[in-house]
């Protein structure tokens, strides 16, 4: 189907002449005023190209093109006028966002050439807008799927009150948090994990989904925390060996019956254990080990300690404390700790909300620059 053209001019002789010249070459429609042209766009569109005169009563060409731009943004706009007024040309470009500016009298061959260029521009714009709409829809669907990966609820039946959230700088991201029950060797355990895939966006989100699946599978079958992380590393390394990407991970297993906490660090920042009774933060450090995906046979060490009822476990990605406001100041670990200290009497979700609310206030009016994740677990037994 050929692209359609609308020509708007208050000179009936000019419109009649153009209809005669182009009747066999174009699907041409005409209008004798800006108001009539607007009706044509609304009722008989879409048009690939709209050509309008500048000097018309009631509604001039620039005003007309501004409305066309709102009604049909894909339509290519051309101003054809006998006025050599430079100010009119500038207004047409700035306000009407025109594609070409032509002066009367304009030879038919020159107008035909501009129209053909306009058709090509119309096809490109329509294709790009269609791709953009489709991409936005895909990203929205990917975001919805990724959000479904994250757990909800607090695991209160095991004596743990847990809450987590990932804030992405793109619709999807590479940060990861998880918690789930692990029933190996007949003992009650809850696994917690926070990870950070290099870079962010959709590629990192795909790798995050793979890592989540590997971790849940390994946690159900591997012998201990170090064995779980080693198995995840072997699987993850196969997925990233050609891309150069990697993932840091903090993995912990909590045994409520014995009040034991076991953890493994794969290149990730240490977690903290906060004791409100003693007002003391302890780093859960130990040898970090390589990030996942760097070396398939990398080894990992696990560490253990006991805990007391009421202590609070904090695991995060560096997007939290490295977030910078407009003045260039970082949110920092000290602010994070002060917020946890101030809200330590509250539940995990409330502590989490207080931190993220303060982070948003700290950054305002900027958005977060990197993916940021925080997992809070109140150890209640």
Output the pLDDT for position 350. 96
Output the pLDDT for position 142. 61
Same-domain check for residues 86 and 200: no
Output the pLDDT for position 160. 86
Query: Is residue 191 assigned to a domain?
Result: yes
C-alpha distances in Å from residue 16, one per residue of 20, 29, 262, 381 = 6, 11, 86, 89
Same-domain check for residues 185 and 265: yes
Same-domain check for residues 164 and 124: no
Domain, as residue range, for 80: 4-138
Same-domain check for residues 203 and 66: no
Into how many domains does the chain fold? 2
C-alpha distances in Å from residue 204, one per residue of 155, 168, 211, 251, 363 = 28, 11, 10, 19, 24
Same-domain check for residues 105 and 247: no
Give the model confidence (pLDDT) of 236-257 as tens digits: 998 887 777 888 999 999 998 8
pLDDT higher at 143 or 60: 60
Is the CB of residue 312 less than 8 Å from the CB of residue 337?
A: no
Alpha helices in the chain (DSSP H): 12-22, 34-44, 61-71, 86-96, 108-149, 202-221, 225-240, 332-342, 348-363
Query: Is residue 326 assigned to a domain?
Result: yes
Boundary residue ending a domain (138, 163, 187) = 138
Query: Is residue 143 assigned to a domain?
Result: no
Average pLDDT in the 121-138 region? Answer: 74
Output the pLDDT for position 14. 86
Boundary residue ending a domain (95, 113, 138) = 138
Strand order in the sheet with 280-284: 160-167, 372-379, 311-316, 271-275, 280-284
Boundary residue ending a domain (114, 138, 162) = 138
Output the pLDDT for position 184. 58
pLDDT higher at 185 or 170: 170
Same-domain check for residues 83 and 192: no
Output the pLDDT for position 203. 72
Give the model confidence (pLDDT) of 366-378 as tens digits: 888 888 999 999 9
Q: Which of 25-34, 239-248, 315-324, 344-353 is least confident?
A: 239-248
Query: Is residue 145 assigned to a domain?
Result: no
Average pLDDT in the 58-66 region? Answer: 87
Same-domain check for residues 166 and 132: no
Query: Is residue 86 assigned to a domain?
Result: yes
Output the pLDDT for position 300. 94
Lookup: tokens for 119: 């058709």
Query: Is residue 363 assigned to a domain?
Result: yes
Confidence of residue 31 (pLDDT cuts 50, 70, 90): very high
287 exposed, middle or buried (CB, 10 Å; 0-12, 13-18, 19+)?
A: exposed
Q: How many CB atoms lie within 10 A of CB 82?
A: 13
Distance CA 194, CA 150 (A): 11
Q: What is the CATH number of the domain that holds 364?
A: 3.60.40.10
Query: Is residue 176 assigned to a domain?
Result: yes
Same-domain check for residues 170 and 300: yes
Cα radius of gyration rounded to whole Å, the chain: 31
Confidence of residue 124 (pLDDT cuts 50, 70, 90): confident
Same-domain check for residues 173 and 265: yes
Output the pLDDT for position 90. 60
Query: Sign (positive/negative) of CA torsion 295, 177, 264, 343?
Result: positive
What are the residues facing 4 on neighbouring strands?
27
Same-domain check for residues 158 and 263: yes
Q: Which of 131-135, 209-213, 325-329 is least confident?
A: 131-135
Average pLDDT in the 193-214 region? Answer: 81
Is the CB of residue 336 less than 8 Å from the CB of residue 320?
A: yes
Q: Does the pLDDT of residue 182 top 90, yes or no? A: no
Mean pLDDT (the chain, rounded): 85
pLDDT higher at 125 or 199: 125
Query: Is residue 352 assigned to a domain?
Result: yes
Q: Does the pLDDT of residue 342 top 90, yes or no? A: yes
Q: What is the CATH number of the domain that holds 63?
A: 3.40.50.2300
pLDDT higher at 132 or 375: 375
pLDDT higher at 126 or 323: 323
Closest CA relative to residue 70, chosen from 29, 89, 42: 42
pLDDT higher at 150 or 353: 353
Same-domain check for residues 76 and 191: no
Q: Does the pLDDT of residue 144 top 80, yes or no? A: no
Output the pLDDT for position 341. 96
Average pLDDT in the 76-104 region? Answer: 70
Output the pLDDT for position 151. 81
Same-domain check for residues 177 and 71: no
Q: Which residues contact 311 (CB under 8 A, 6 or more apart)?
A: 273, 274, 275, 276, 378, 379
Confidence of residue 284 (pLDDT cuts 50, 70, 90): very high
């Amino acid at each position: 189907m050929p692209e359609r053209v609308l020509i708007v001019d208050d000179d009936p002789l000019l419109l009649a002449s153009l209809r005669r010249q182009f009747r066999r070459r174009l699907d041409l429609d005409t209008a004798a005023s800006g108001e009539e042209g607007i009706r044509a766009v609304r009722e008989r569109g879409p048009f690939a190209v709209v050509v309008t005169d500048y000097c018309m009563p009631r509604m001039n060409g620039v005003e007309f093109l501004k409305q066309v731009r709102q009604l049909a943004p894909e339509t290519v706009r051309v101003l054809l006028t006998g006025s050599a007024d430079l100010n009119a040309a500038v207004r047409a470009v700035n306000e009407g966002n025109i594609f070409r500016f032509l002066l009367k009298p304009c030879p038919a061959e020159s107008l035909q050439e501009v129209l053909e260029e306009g058709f090509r521009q119309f096809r490109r714009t329509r294709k790009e807008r269609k791709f953009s709409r489709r991409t936005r829809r895909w990203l929205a669907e990917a975001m919805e799927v990724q959000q479904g990966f994250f757990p909800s609820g607090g695991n209160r039946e095991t004596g743990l009150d847990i809450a987590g959230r990932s804030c992405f700088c793109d619709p999807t991201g590479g940060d990861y948090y998880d918690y789930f029950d692990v029933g190996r060797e007949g003992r009650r355990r809850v696994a917690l994990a926070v990870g950070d895939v290099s870079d962010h966006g959709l590629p990192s989100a795909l790798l995050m989904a793979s890592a989540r699946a590997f971790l849940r599978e390994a946690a159900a079958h591997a012998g201990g925390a170090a064995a779980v992380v080693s198995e995840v590393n072997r699987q993850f390394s196969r997925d990233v060996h050609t891309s150069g990407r990697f993932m840091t991970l903090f993995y912990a297993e909590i045994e409520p019956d014995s009040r034991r906490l076991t953890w493994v660090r794969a290149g990730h920042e240490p977690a903290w254990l906060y004791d409100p009774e003693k007002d003391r933060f302890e780093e859960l450090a130990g040898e970090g080990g390589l990030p996942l995906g760097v070396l398939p046979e990398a080894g990992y060490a696990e560490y253990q300690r006991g805990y007391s009822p009421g202590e609070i476990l904090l695991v995060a990605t560096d997007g939290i404390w490295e977030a910078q406001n407009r003045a260039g100041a970082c949110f920092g670990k000290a602010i994070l700790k002060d917020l946890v200290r101030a809200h330590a009497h509250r539940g995990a979700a409330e502590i989490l909300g207080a931190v993220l609310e303060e982070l948003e206030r700290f950054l305002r009016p900027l958005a977060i620059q990197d993916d940021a994740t925080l997992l809070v677990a109140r150890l209640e037994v």
